[in-house]
Amino acid sequence: MPPWSNIDTVMFDMDGTLLDLHFDNYFWQDFLPQVWSQAQGVDLRTAVAQLDQKYNDVRGTLNWYCLDFWTEQLSLDITSLKQEVRHKIAVRPNVISLLEKLRLHDKRILLITNAHPDSLKLKLEQTGIGGYFDRLISSHSLKLAKENHGFWSSLMKLEHYDPQRTLLIDDSLAVLQQAEREGIRYLYGIYQPDSQQAPLLMEEFPQIIDFEHILPPHHVNTLAEGKG
């Protein structure tokens, strides 16, 4: 259980944390290779190998997450293709319960995502979770991925926060490690980002199996007591 009384700001990743990572894995590993195979006139196995090479060339950089980059690289409208399988976008269990509880506790709630703004827009439209956050920030606005050196200090230019009173929940080990290097105190991973794949084990950080397990205790605003 996070020490909620010591936390003012709660930062959430989106894909694999609030949302099931199955949508993204399906899109990039299954759906897009089929489209690429047809577009290039190659068999599916060749298409997968070609895309994997392109993915590996930019993994860990902002381009890895950039839909404009992939649209240019592949000559495919990636945003439109994502629309075709948007029905697979799903909120993880008990996400809404946690967000509602945090609002009752007057925490500042931030969505900090590597997702491209077009992808962020699509997922917010599909899930309706945007209204729970005080601010939504795509790493593209800082021109750095969250796992890149300097991201979390640069974030302060957009959103002032005290790293020693901040909780970050993210499914990426690289992101959590970078946040730790830049002073964020409370760091939690996700046990199973993709509901249809095996869990990812982290030794360095506690992992959340279900958000129900970290719900803050019942909160009563004493200033409101007695008011009808």
CATH number assigned to the domain comprising residue 111: 3.40.50.1000
Together in a domain, 195 and 159: yes
Percent of the chain at pLDDT above 90?
Answer: 92
Across the beta sheet with 108-113, what order do the strands follow?
135-138, 108-113, 9-12, 166-169, 186-190, 207-208
Number of compact structural domains in the chain = 2
The three-state secondary structure class of 60 is: coil
The answer on pLDDT for 220 being more than 50 is: no
Give this prediction's pTM: 0.91
Residue found by looking up tokens 């901040």 in the block: 166
Domain boundary among 87, 111, 130: 87
**Residue pLDDT, tens place only, 45-104:** 999 999 999 999 998 899 999 999 999 999 999 999 999 999 999 999 999 999 999 999
User: 41 and 114 in one domain?
Assistant: no
Q: Domain residues for 119?
A: 4-21+91-220
Q: Where are the beta strands (DSSP E) in 80-173?
A: 108-113, 135-138, 166-169
Residue 227 belongs to some domain of the structure: no
Mean pLDDT of the chain: 93
Look at residue 227 and tell me whether its pLDDT is greater than 80: no
> Helices marked H in 94-172 — which ranges?
95-104, 117-127, 151-155
Q: Do the domain assignments include residue 226? A: no
Task: Find the angle CA(37)-CA(84)-CA(125) to the nearest 5 degrees.
Answer: 145
Q: What is the pLDDT of residue 225?
A: 34
